[in-house]
Structures are given as structure tokens and as C-alpha cells.
């Protein structure tokens, strides 16, 4: 009877605790891109010394079934795209290029898929998710990361793109701008670290926050603590930094 009572008191195990069943790797040609498209879950990419791109994904759920969320690999001329495909209310997952699984009608939206990516030198990275953190660190070439609900950090020796809505944006770029660039969030600050020889036009705006720069800026128009318009160095491409609730920090590498 004592054993039976203890058994009753034991907490039941989750129905679908973890399904870690996706591992992929391949050598891509220099200049190709590895694209990661998630919905619920984080994306963590790091630079590697190897020659192959490696991608792992871990699925977790409290109520839904991780096996209902599919992971698809699509190879193209510019590289490889790997997607987490959620079933819609009809139980259909579609395909990577359809993107209809991002229509807000997912049956099992408590399933999270966390991606881990190793990116060798010479390979570009492009990652997106909706509900989760985006972390892209130690890369050698151009990289971009975006989410909606979560912070974004991109650090690369190449050029970078980053955006979110609810979270911080932290970016470190090793190369100068080669075109106009935007970094934005709504609820969070922006910290951008750039090469010391940065030359650009700059437009920075916040509502509830301040603007601070390590670079001397020649200001155009009226001085405003929440809005800045001017040029750095000899000017050039346009750099836009926009948030609502947060401060903007422009740092010199």
C-alpha cells in the first residue's frame, strides 16, 4: 500500500517531452547561404572552423505532439533553406516555400523548435523566427537575423542585418556599409558597433530613450535628444536606427 501511495503522488511525465530527431550537414560552395526559418523557438548560429554547415533542431512541447511539426530541407542555386513546418487547422504542413504555415492557424503552436547552426567561413547566414531569440555570433561573412518576439544579436566580420519588434538589437559588423541599411525594433534598445572608418549619412529616432555615439556626427537641422539627422565622416550610404521604447548606442570597434 505504501508503494501504491507513492506512485499516486509521483508527478506524471509530460506526454511529449522532447523529440531531438533532426541533424543535417553538408558542404556548401563559397558564397552560398544557409537559410533557417523557424516559427516558435530560438535560432543560435556560430562560426566554425570546419568545412560543412551543420544544423540540429530540438523539438519540445507540453501539450502538442512534436512529431506533428515537420522540418524540411530545400536545396537551391543560392544555398539551402531549412524550415520548421507547423500544421494548420486542417492538419496540413505544406512546404518550405509556401510559408502558409505562418498564417496564425497552427494547431500545435505550443511546440517549439530550437535550431543550432554551425557556419563555416565563406558561407552566408540568413535566419528568421517569430517567437524566440536570434543569436548569430562569430561568423566570417555576411549574416542576417530577425524575429518578432525576442532579442537579436548578430556579430560577424562581414556585414549584418538585424530586426525585431519586442526585444533588443545588438549588432557588430566588421565591414563598412555597401548600401543603405536599417536596424529597428519597437520595444528595446539598439546597440550597433561599426568599424572605426565608418562613413555614412545617419538618421536615428527613438521616443522613450536617448541617442549616444562614439563617432563624431555633423548634425543637420535642429538638435533633438530623441532624433538625430547628420553625417559621419565623409557621408555616403544611409544608416537608419529606429526604436520607440529604448536607447540607441553607436559604438566604434
Which H, E and C letters describe 28-39, residue by residue?
Answer: CCCCCEEEEECC
**pLDDT at residue 41, as a whole number:** 96
pTM, entire model: 0.87
Looking at the fold, whether 136 and 249 belong to one and the same domain comes out as no
Look at residues 170, 199, 223 and tell me which one is the last residue of a structural domain.
170
b/e code 179-203 from CB counts within 10 Å (16+ = b): eebebbbeebbbbbbbeeebebbbe
Look at residues 137, 170, 203 and tell me which one is the last residue of a structural domain.
170
Looking at the fold, whether 116 and 191 belong to one and the same domain comes out as no
**pLDDT at residue 17, as a whole number:** 52
Residue 4 lies in a domain: no
Looking at the fold, whether 141 and 86 belong to one and the same domain comes out as yes
Angle 240-165-76 (CA atoms, 0-180°, nearest 5)?
85
Look at residues 130, 155, 170 and tell me which one is the last residue of a structural domain.
170
**Do the beta carbons of residue 128 and residue 45 sit within 8 Å?**
no
**pLDDT at residue 117, as a whole number:** 98
Q: How many domains does the chain have?
A: 2
Looking at the fold, whether 129 and 59 belong to one and the same domain comes out as yes
Looking at the fold, whether 138 and 226 belong to one and the same domain comes out as no
Instruction: Name residue 172's beta-bridge partners.
Output: 155, 193
The model's pLDDT over 24-34, given as tens digits with 9 standing for 90+, comes to: 999 999 999 99
Residue 74 lies in a domain: yes
Residue 5 lies in a domain: no
Residue 187 lies in a domain: yes
In angstroms, the Cα distances linking 15 to 22, 87, 91, 166, 237 are 20, 19, 20, 31, 53
Looking at the fold, whether 143 and 64 belong to one and the same domain comes out as yes
Q: What cell was used for 73?
A: 530541407
Q: Is 93 helix (H, G, I), strand (E, B) or coil?
A: coil
Which range of residues forms the domain containing residue 182?
176-253
The model's pLDDT over 13-25, given as tens digits with 9 standing for 90+, comes to: 444 455 558 999 9
Residue 118 lies in a domain: yes
**pLDDT at residue 38, as a whole number:** 95
Look at the block and give the residue holding cell 535642429.
222
Looking at the fold, whether 200 and 162 belong to one and the same domain comes out as no
Low pLDDT (below 70) residues in the chain: 1-20, 97-109
Residue 120 lies in a domain: yes
Q: What is the DSSP letter of 6?
A: H
**pLDDT at residue 224, as a whole number:** 86
Amino acid at each position: 500500500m505504501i508503494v501504491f501511495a507513492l506512485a499516486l503522488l509521483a508527478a506524471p511525465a509530460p506526454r511529449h517531452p522532447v523529440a531531438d530527431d533532426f541533424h543535417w550537414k553538408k558542404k556548401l560552395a563559397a558564397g552560398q547561404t544557409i537559410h533557417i526559418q523557424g516559427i516558435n523557438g530560438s535560432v543560435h548560429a556560430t562560426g566554425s572552423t570546419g568545412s560543412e554547415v551543420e544544423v540540429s533542431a530540438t523539438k519540445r512541447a507540453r501539450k502538442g505532439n512534436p512529431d506533428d511539426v515537420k522540418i524540411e530541407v530545400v536545396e537551391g542555386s543560392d544555398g539551402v533553406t531549412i524550415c520548421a513546418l507547423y500544421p494548420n487547422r486542417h492538419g496540413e504542413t505544406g512546404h518550405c516555400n509556401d510559408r502558409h504555415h505562418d498564417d496564425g492557424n497552427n494547431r500545435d503552436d505550443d511546440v517549439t523548435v530550437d535550431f543550432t547552426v554551425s557556419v563555416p567561413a565563406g558561407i552566408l547566414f540568413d535566419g528568421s523566427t517569430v517567437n524566440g531569440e536570434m543569436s548569430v555570433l562569430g561568423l566570417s561573412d555576411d549574416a542576417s537575423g530577425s524575429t518578432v518576439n525576442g532579442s537579436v544579436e548578430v556579430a560577424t566580420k562581414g556585414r549584418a542585418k538585424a530586426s525585431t519588434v519586442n526585444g533588443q538589437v545588438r549588432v557588430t559588423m566588421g565591414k563598412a556599409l555597401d548600401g543603405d541599411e536599417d536596424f529597428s525594433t519597437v520595444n528595446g534598445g539598439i546597440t550597433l558597433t561599426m568599424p572605426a572608418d565608418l562613413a555614412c549619412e545617419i538618421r536615428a529616432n527613438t521616443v522613450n530613450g536617448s541617442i549616444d555615439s562614439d563617432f563624431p556626427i555633423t548634425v543637420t537641422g535642429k538638435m533633438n535628444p530623441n532624433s538625430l539627422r547628420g553625417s559621419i565622416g565623409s557621408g555616403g550610404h544611409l544608416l537608419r536606427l529606429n526604436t520607440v521604447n529604448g536607447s540607441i548606442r553607436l559604438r566604434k570597434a
